[in-house]
Structure 1
């Protein structure tokens, strides 16, 4: 099994994909390095990350990710992992539940990616091929979004 981190915009359009990881690790495995990789990809594409909002579920509630977001001036709206009491600060870190509801767009993006059978089966053994298929899927999803009929 292979997993990867994706960043999507507020409309669910995938923007960046980190290097794939073995699926036998927790979501927070190498999270700071993978998040840095995502930010570098966005900046290389001319997308400024300062001032953006990051919605993430409690699996990503780690000090490393919160520090990486703060270093890049990204507003981290991450659900608290109440089980990780060993590092939780005493302060009341900001969390906006209304904004957090928008996290569903990344879940929808993952579901749309799963509709591509080439990505779902995951027979690729080359990281380059794996990433190329994902970027191709991102492009198809983007084209579908920009060609969508307006809804009134």
Structure 2
């Protein structure tokens, strides 16, 4: 499993937490957070995988435009998924329409 996060989540504790659970961290190194430069092997980072993260973030910002979907008042997961599908259909209709 791989987690992609922005540079604000570049912390030793977060990387260690993920490593202990067998999760790879795809986080760019935030040079401003290091007091002393890290020596040794650099952290793994895949820029192509990181670019895909922005598509997901744009999707969630689109979904937040629908006020009913954001707070999630639905009791069941399938009704929430139905609202997300309806919101996606509305967005496609706006773009194509």
Report TM bin, short chain.
0.5 to 0.7
Cα-Cα RMSD: 3.1
Unaligned runs of 5+ in 2: 93-97
TM-score, scaled to structure 1: 0.45
Greater helix share, structure number: 2
Larger radius of gyration: 2
Greater strand share, structure number: 1
Unaligned runs of 5+ in 1: 1-51, 121-129
- Distance in structure 1 (CA, Å) of the matches to 2:31 and 2:79: 35
| Aligned counterpart in structure 2 of residue 63 of structure 1, from 4, 7, 12 | 12
Aligned to 1:77: 26
Q: How does 1:35-46 map to 2 (within 5 A)?
A: none
Q: How does 1:10-21 map to 2 (within 5 A)?
A: none
> Using a 3 Å threshold, how does the CA distance of structure 1 residues 55 and 72 change in structure 2: closer, same or farther?
same
Q: How many residues align?
A: 85
